[in-house]
Structure 1
Amino acid sequence: MARRSDHSREELKELALKSAEELLKEKSASELSTRQIATKMGYTVGTLYQIFKNLPDLLLHVNARSLAILYQDCQKLELSAQDAEANILAYANVYLQFARTHPGLWELIFDSSVLSDNLLSDNLLSDNALSGNELPDWYLSQVDALFFLIEIQLKDIKPDSSEFDITKSSRVLWSGVHGICTLSINNLFSHSACSSEELIQSLIKHFIKGWE
């Protein structure tokens, strides 16, 4: 068992998040416990609680890292100055690829149970879990940053649209993309004549026609 002096606080935080990410390759968030994470780290559970408020807090930070990776991957794309639809499709393909490559991390982002008391099974936590209405601003800003990428493209297509319409439409469009990704990683398109990429392309094409 490692000693507390073996790592700094920031190193412990990084180690905890990486350990959780590794465990999520093998099991769902509902099966994850702070004890499992601490064991994988080589530390006691008490050390973990010195870094994070509770398990939902730790998993929220895991989600934040996933959102950051998605954003960085989107930023690496070579976008077209003339084809906003193609840009949106490129973002969607990044999203789909992340879901396929990291299904556990991707599903965790949308698992509301990580913010509920149902995950607090260690009986070592006295703090209440985060609720959906108490997501911290730093986390919400990461979510907004991803939607903003889509909003920019929608505004480029229809510059006179109101901010409200652009914001709403970006969420509507991405709900559709997300649905296809969900069905894809659960192999519910295995007998479909169309690939997930083709379905996403069709969705975006028809959505943009209605948006123009």
Structure 2
Amino acid sequence: MARRADHSKEELASLVVNTAEELIAEEGIDAFSARSLSRAIGYTAGTLYHHFKDLDDIVTQVNTRTLVGLARAFADGTPSDDPRQMLHNYADAFLGYITLKRNLWNALFEFRRKPDQPVPPWYVEAIASLIRIIAQCFADIRPDLDDKAAHQSGQLVFASIHSVVSLDSSGRLNLIMDRDIGKVVHELVDMHILAYTHRTK
């Protein structure tokens, strides 16, 4: 087993998060533990907590990377001057990213924090920033409506895509419908666009 002196504090912290990300990506959040992580990096579990508050802290670091990755996928998506088309482009980026990082994405919402462990404000902001990107498209579709309406529609699109992809990844979507997940996602986007276009307030 490696000694703590084998890595600097910064190197070990990076090793821990990198390895945690790999383990969660390969095996899922339910199989992830301090024991599996310490075994993978060759350090005792106690050593982990010299650098991180607890396992929640480590998973939060991994989840933050996942959110940053989705933001990057949004930024790298196909650009369009049409906000309606842009919503579909974001949906493609969203679906593609979740499909590629399925276990990491599930960890965002399936990891059970300690009851007394609050979600860090910056973590909440990372999710909110993604929703704002989607909401801006709705604001561009109907600039006469207030920001609250656009934000609510952004939240609904985010939640809708997450929900159907979660059903698909768990194998439960086919209990409801036998349809291609990509077509379902784009139909959901079209429904939200139609509803928003005809909002009265």
TM-score, length-scaled by structure 1: 0.84
Specify the alignment match of 1:4 in structure 2.
4
Taking the aligned partners of 1:208 and 1:49, their CA distance within structure 2 comes to: 47
Question: In 2, are the aligned partners of 1:103 and 1:185 still within 8 Å (CA)?
Answer: yes
Specify the alignment match of 1:43 in structure 2.
43
Question: In 1, are the aligned partners of 2:153 and 2:192 still within 8 Å (CA)?
Answer: no
Q: Which structure 1 residue ranges, 4+ long, deviate > 4 Å from structure 2?
A: 189-193
Question: In 2, are the aligned partners of 1:147 and 1:170 still within 8 Å (CA)?
Answer: yes
CA deviation after TM superposition for structure 1 residue 93, in Å = 1.8
Specify the alignment match of 1:149 in structure 2.
133
CA RMSD, Structure 1 to Structure 2 (Å): 1.8
Superposition map of 1:1-212 within 5 A? 1-81=1-81, 83-113=82-112, 115-116=113-114, 130=117, 134-189=118-173, 192-212=177-197
Question: In 2, are the aligned partners of 1:28 and 1:104 still within 8 Å (CA)?
Answer: yes
Taking the aligned partners of 2:45 and 2:178, their CA distance within structure 1 comes to: 49
Taking the aligned partners of 2:111 and 2:149, their CA distance within structure 1 comes to: 27
Question: In 2, are the aligned partners of 1:184 and 1:196 still within 8 Å (CA)?
Answer: yes
CA deviation after TM superposition for structure 1 residue 24, in Å = 1.6
**Letter paired with 1:96:** L
Moved more, 176-185 or 65-74: 176-185
CA deviation after TM superposition for structure 1 residue 189, in Å = 4.3
Question: In 2, are the aligned partners of 1:99 and 1:185 still within 8 Å (CA)?
Answer: no
Question: In 2, are the aligned partners of 1:84 and 1:157 still within 8 Å (CA)?
Answer: yes
User: Percent identity at matched positions?
Assistant: 29
Alignment deviations for residues 28-65 of structure 1 (CA, whole Å, 9 cap, x no partner): 32332112111111112122101110111111111101
Alignment deviations for residues 99-129 of structure 1 (CA, whole Å, 9 cap, x no partner): 222221111101151x126xxxxxxxxxxx5
**Letter paired with 1:92:** A
Cα 1:161/1:102, change in 2 over 3 Å: same
CA deviation after TM superposition for structure 1 residue 26, in Å = 4.0
Taking the aligned partners of 2:189 and 2:16, their CA distance within structure 1 comes to: 38
Q: Secondary structure at the match of 2:77?
A: coil
Taking the aligned partners of 1:146 and 1:9, their CA distance within structure 2 comes to: 32
Q: Secondary structure at the match of 1:24?
A: helix
Unaligned runs of 5+ in 1: 118-128
